[in-house]
Structure 1
């Protein structure tokens, strides 16, 4: 790889990283705001909130990476054209096919990244997210103990929490335990927290008092305590039986699904459609980069020509991606959608490589350029008249 190749390679990957991080961050923030109730209503910590929401980032990267590469390639080519570097390279004998080589190397890096995310990282993150979400939503201590409500955990056990503060701190705790027919226990504590360990789940109460009413006795026994552990393991569902959907399956599980899988027996076509989506995901970066370079890689002499090529590249990439989404939806019902999607990608890549190899310059029709020039002249005359007056 020569100095020119390294320069273009570094510029393209640097632009790709900036665009990918920016777009992913913006979309992640909009998605993460939906899970803000983890901290407000369920009393989870900020680390839990960030951990749960960040597990969806690989799925976002899987969709955004090809688009980010297209933007990076167009930015690099525009930069080279603005500085007249493409014209100089072309005059020095560097053909468009030779100029495309560093872009191809950068595309291979992005394709490998997308392949790894699609086959392992994205489904693994979705699995962790599903297990984490199931553990949070199935935990009675996190969902039933709502501030200001009397929670009836059992027929003879009532708990009320006045306030839930950040960090899982419970303030103003009242416990009425009548499960033992021989006695009744009433506990009032200033504050407390929920503790989970290998021995079970406990409500750790601090700075309170305990009243024990025993059958046959007139006066209750009262005990003031600084710290008291109330066992609630019975009410904390820690089951880890989670059924994974199609999107949570690894690529090899989609290619060779278990014969006795009940989900595969119900929707075998959806397994096949998801598998083809994973296999085609690394091809989209190559198709987008090739299309973008085919429209913008040749030297341009006019601004109208470059604007037309930029618009054409965006339209071609958008049309190919929308056609791919449509084929993915139809693939769950038809066997011809997946081959059609492969054919579309192969056609886009083949036509792009043919344009690059032949050195064809994609320019707007002459009539369109004349119409744009006439329109610009009318606008100039229109704005000049008030100034002259």
Structure 2
């Protein structure tokens, strides 16, 4: 790149990084606030909280990057035009393709990043997030048992605790165990704490008693204890096999799926749509760059013209994204709609390139067409 092209590239790159960091940080904070109940209500550690919220970052970056690039290109072109640099470049004979080159260089770099995230990183992060959420939901103490409520499980266990203390401790604990036919056990404890030993979950009870009574007997045995340990694995229902959704599967698994799998047979369209949506995601940064440059690449001196151009570019990007979502949705229902997934960004690139490189001819043709439509027709002579 020439010196002037490096100058334009630095302006666009700095604007892109500022937009990307600002937008990603803002949205990530809102997502993190929604997951605070992992610590406050579900008793999970700060590490689990950071892991769950951090796994959403690749998705946020992949979604925000094209829009941040679009904003950066608009900002850079407006800055160049406002400082009259765009006018000087044009007057000096600098062709549109030379001005466009640094923006396209940045766009291809963002396209590579988007492709890497959507094809490789995002499926792995979605899968890991699914595994973490499954483990959190499978935590009996954190998710099934509610403070101040009697919770009855399907296997004959009834849980109750008065309140949750510091460190996730359960205060005022009551457990009724009716798993064995004809026998009832009741555990009462002042305090209980879930612990993990060699990957197994246990509930350590402190200062309580165990009441055991047979069905046909009025007598009951009472055992007091200072510390008593219960295996929580017996209380929880057996884990079901995890079935990963299409977005949680690797690109290789989408390319070569197990065609005998029931879930694949029922959701074949979603597998197809997800695959081609990933493979086409890299086209959108380039398309948005072309749209922004087509709207603002020409030097202008009136602010009104720039404002209308920015509004037109935003409308065009909105239509582009809506059309892309519609094409992906249609591809889930029909294999023939797969072509539309790639056609939507490619058509946007083609039309924008036509405006950039042949703008005067396109505008002249449009002027002639408009004049021909508005031209009054000569009256016909009545037949004699």
After TM superposition, the score normalised by the length of structure 2 is: 0.82
Where 1:194 maps in the other structure, the secondary structure is strand
Q: CA deviation at 1:319?
A: 1.3
Assess if the C-alpha contact under 8 Å between 1:43 and 1:165 holds in 2.
no
Asked if 1:288 corresponds to 2:285, the answer is no
Residue 77 of structure 1: CA displacement? 1.0
User: CA 1:89–1:199 in structure 2 vs 1: closer, same or farther (change >3 Å)?
Assistant: closer
Give CA deviations for 1:114-167 in whole Å, capped at 9, x if unaligned: 101111211111111211222222333333322112344587754421112465
1:350 lines up with 2:374 in the alignment: no
Structure 1 pair 316–230 and aligned structure 2 pair: CA distance change class (3 A): same
Residue matched to 1:115: 115
How has the CA–CA distance of structure 1 residues 337 and 178 changed in structure 2, closer, same or farther, with 3 Å as cutoff? closer
Which is worse superposed, 86-95 or 147-156? 147-156
Query: Is residue 307 of structure 2 the alignment partner of residue 315 of structure 1?
Result: no
CA distance in 2 between counterparts of 1:211 and 1:257 reads 53
Please list the CA deviations of residues 13-40 of structure 1 after superposition, one character each: whole Å capped at 9, or x if unmatched.
2222222233333334444454444344
What do the CA deviations read for 1:68-118 (whole angstroms, capped 9, x no partner)? 111111011111111122122223332221011111111111101110111
Which residue pairs with 1:12 in the alignment?
A: 12
**Pair 1:88–1:165, CA change in 2 (3 A):** farther
Q: Which residue of the partner structure matches residue 25 of structure 1?
A: 25
Distance 2:41 2:191 in 1: 18
Summarize the Cα distance change of 1:100–1:212 in structure 2 as closer, same or farther, 3 Å threshold.
same
Comparing 151-160 and 105-114, the one that deviates more: 151-160
1:200 counterpart = 2:162:
no
Matched with 2:173 is 173
Q: Which moved more, 1:327-336 or 1:111-120?
A: 327-336
Q: Secondary structure at the match of 2:123?
A: helix
Q: SS at 2:248's partner residue?
A: coil
- Aligned partner of 2:267 in structure 1 is 267
In the alignment, the residues of structure 2 paired with residue 32 and residue 180 of structure 1 have an alpha-carbon distance, to the nearest angstrom, of: 44
Query: What's the offset of the Cα at 1:221?
Result: 5.0
Query: What's the secondary structure of 2:147's corresponding residue?
Result: coil
Aligned partners of 1:165 and 1:24: how far apart in 2? 35
Q: Assess if the C-alpha contact under 8 Å between 1:24 and 1:61 holds in 2.
A: yes
Deviations 1:204-241 (CA, angstroms, capped at 9, x unpaired)? 234x2445779999985544x3x543322212457473
Q: Deviations over 1:28-75 (max 9, x none)?
A: 444445444434443323442342233233233332221111111101
Q: CA RMSD in A?
A: 3.3
CA distance in 1, matches of 2:25, 2:58: 12
**1:199 Cα offset (Å):** 4.9
Name the residue aligned to 2:55: 55
Structure 1: distance between partners of 2:326 and 2:156: 56
Aligned equivalents of 2:137, 2:16: Cα separation in 1: 38
Check the 8 A contact 1:192/1:203 in 2, yes or no. Answer: yes
Q: 1:67 to 1:88 in 2, by over 3 A?
A: same
Write out aligned runs for 1:349-388 (5 A).
349-358=349-358, 360=360
The answer to whether the Cα contact below 8 Å between 1:111 and 1:285 also exists between their aligned partners in 2 is yes
Give the distance between the partners of 2:235 and 2:220, measured in 1 at CA.
32
Aligned equivalent of 1:328:
328
1:351 deviates by: 2.6
Q: Residues 105 and 183 from structure 1, CA distance in 2 versus in 1: closer, same or farther, beyond 3 angstroms? A: same
Corresponding residue SS for 1:331: helix
TM normalised by structure 1 equals 0.81
